[in-house]
Structure 1
């Protein structure tokens, strides 16, 4: 009979692809849990080597009592995808009052398909609605057809 490992910590970080280093935020977070920082950095950088360097990658690291760990890579945040699809660098300073870009429902649907990997139990229409709210809070107008976007 195998014994289940005891979880001592769950660490959530967002690290740029291929740029995990023992410096903050990675080093202190893993060091507090007593994990081997360089093992994680090498593994993460190897798995994200083919990503663009500016892609933020959310990671969930589960630390166990025997100082071992496992980690799961998530899809980049919805705001990253919306900014890329809308061709903008940052959101509106006054969301709700000022629109800085527009994005079509088709784009949101494609983003929802990618984000569904992290949330397989959530339906696509719900994810699209959630993405519409995220876009609105960033000052991005959602249009029905790509031709309507300026």
Structure 2
């Protein structure tokens, strides 16, 4: 007889600071589920300790027996672009430039985001990342 599937009760995607998830944010989203917030925080912090300082989204699935499962994603594209530039995006995209992103940096970001994108081609991923950069007012080297 196959093992029983746990019944999913709640699922949410949270964008938390890697290695130091604030319990307040966890409490706002997961408090009503009755899951042990301290255990969720410990699991998240342990898994993301190597990326400390980045924003790492996580999909939290809570089951009826109040157990949970965490599925980690890659940092948001806009966050990676801002980190590569060391600056923020433009307050007026299309009018003011926020900087220039080199092809090498664009490739690094695309390779890092590849698991979460709907393509397996690095060139297509680079075009997707370049589109996000342009919408932030960042120019991309040709």
Whether TM-score is above 0.5 comes out as yes
Offset, 1:71: 0.3
Q: How large is the Cα RMSD of the aligned pairs?
A: 1.5
Q: What is the Cα deviation at residue 26 of structure 1? A: 1.0
Q: Is the 8 A contact 2:16 2:22 kept in 1?
A: no
Tell me the distance in 1 between the aligned counterparts of 2:119 and 2:70: 21
Tell me if structure 1 keeps the 8 A contact 2:117–2:125. Answer: no
Equivalent residue, structure 2, for 1:147: none
Cα deviation 1:91-112 (Å, max 9, x = unaligned)? 1010011112000222111111
Q: Residues 44-81 of structure 1: CA distance to partner in whole angstroms, max 9, x if unpaired? A: 112222323x3111010111111111001111111111
Give deviations 1:119-148, integer Å, cap 9, x for gaps.
37443222111111110111100112xxxx
Which stretches in structure 1 are left out of the alignment for 5+ residues?
145-150
1:72 counterpart residue number: 71
1:18 alignment partner in structure 2: 19
Name 2:29's counterpart in structure 1: 29
Unaligned runs of 5+ in 2: none
Q: Of Structure 1 and Structure 2, which has the larger fraction of its residues in helix?
A: 2
- In structure 2, relative to structure 1, the CA distance for the partners of 1:131 and 1:26 (3 Å cut) is same
TM-score, structure 2 length as denominator? 0.90
**1:12-70, CA deviations, whole angstroms, 9 ceiling, x for partnerless residues?**
100011222321x2112111222110001111112222323x31110101111111110
Separation of aligned partners in 1, 2:124 and 2:12? 27
Conservation of the 8 A alpha-carbon contact between 2:21 and 2:41: yes
Alignment partner of 1:110 out of 95, 108, 112: 108
Give the distance between the partners of 1:34 and 1:121, measured in 2 at CA.
37
Give the number of aligned pairs: 141
Distance 1:141 1:102 in 2: 5
